[in-house]
Chain A
Amino acid sequence: MALKIGADAPAFELKNVDGNTVSLESLKDGASALAIVFSCNHCPYVLAWEDRLIQIARDYAGKGVRFALINANDPVKYPADSFPEMQSRARMKSYPFPYLFDETQEVARAYGAERTPEVFLFDASGRLVYHGAPDDNYDDPSAVKKHYLREALDAVLAGGTPPVAETPPVGCTIKWK
């Protein structure tokens, strides 16, 4: 079961594609908001939303918002989601955020993540304020009517609460070991 709105972000320390370890605490430190997105390489829903998430991260970076992507998929079953492939993907797309490998899948389980992509947005105090899909249209960026993540970020940065706190995550299932 996924984290409930208002829950604290479970702590983690995971290996980033640059070889360094990244902790939740380091991501939260001084951030006005933190978006943790469970992701991977192979899933078409991730690929469909990827450029939009990169753009959101860039648009909000100057406002103190941090992003981190976490891949928890079993690379034995899905070799495209292996750590070296994650490194290639991050380089190719010039990811403006850490891309972390949850090799034991413990972090995905702690968050109750089930799909990729699946967004968990925390406010400055580390409490969950939005959980779900980035927006309401995976297929066509020009047809998006509800920009859930952007609207949640705007609300949090204005000191309020997101107009929509939860939506069903839409994407591939996490590939458990």
Chain B
Amino acid sequence: MNIEFLYFEDCPSHAAALERLRDLLGQENLRADLRIVRVESDEQAQSLRFPGSPTIRVDGQDIDPVGAAANPVGLSCRVYRTSDGRSTPLPPEDLLREALRRAAGRRTPD
């Protein structure tokens, strides 16, 4: 499994997001090649189609493709939606877990 973790330094949730990702990889007993990319310019954001910080792609797939499309590409902080409808700058745990399980070819238990 290949994971890209893209972040913009000005958005403080990236450290907590990375910690959450690593915790979930451990909980799910998954191994991944984790590539951490610091996005530093508008040009780089455009070339990476970066929809805000933090952005996590598992095997090239955004953990929330719908949310990614709703966030403008550029150097900004990304809005995530929790399952109960709140806005947060931190990728929700359930969203991240589902993305990891999908990539691992597992089914999410009902």
- Which residues of B are in contact with A by a Cβ distance under 8 Å? 10-13, 16, 52, 72, 76-80, 86-90
* A173 / chain B contacts, CB cutoff of 8 Å: 10
| Chain A 160-177 interface residues, beta-carbon cutoff 8 Å to B | 170-173
Residue A47, interface by CB 8 Å: yes
The one of B10, B52, B76, B88 in contact with A48, judged by C-beta atoms closer than 8 angstroms, is B88
Contact check, A45 vs B77: say whether CB atoms are below 8 A apart.
Answer: yes
**Among the interface residues A42, A44, A80, A140, which one has the most CB atoms of the partner chain B within 10 A?**
A44
The one of A78, A139, A141 in contact with B89, judged by C-beta atoms closer than 8 angstroms, is A139
B5 vs chain A, min Cβ distance (A): 17
Q: How far is the CA of A44 from the CA of B12 in the complex (A)?
A: 11
Contact check, A44 vs B10: say whether CB atoms are below 8 A apart.
Answer: no
Contact with B along A137-158 (1 / 0, CB 8 A): 0111100000000000000000
Given contacts A139-B88, A172-B11, contact A47 B76 (CB under 8 A): no
A76 vs chain B, min Cβ distance (A): 13
Interface class of chain B by DSSP: loop
Contact check, A44 vs B77: say whether CB atoms are below 8 A apart.
Answer: yes
A contact residues, total (Cβ < 8 Å): 17
Residue A22, interface by CB 8 Å: no
11 more CB-based (< 8 A) A-B contacts, given A138-B13, A138-B89, A138-B90: A43-B77, A44-B78, A44-B88, A47-B87, A48-B87, A48-B89, A78-B76, A138-B88, A139-B88, A140-B88, A141-B86
Pairs across A and B, CB under 8 Å, 8 listed: A42-B76, A43-B76, A44-B52, A44-B80, A45-B89, A48-B86, A80-B72, A139-B90
* B80 / chain A contacts, CB cutoff of 8 Å: 44
* A141 / chain B contacts, CB cutoff of 8 Å: 86
Given contacts A42-B76, A44-B78, A44-B79, contact A172 B87 (CB under 8 A): no
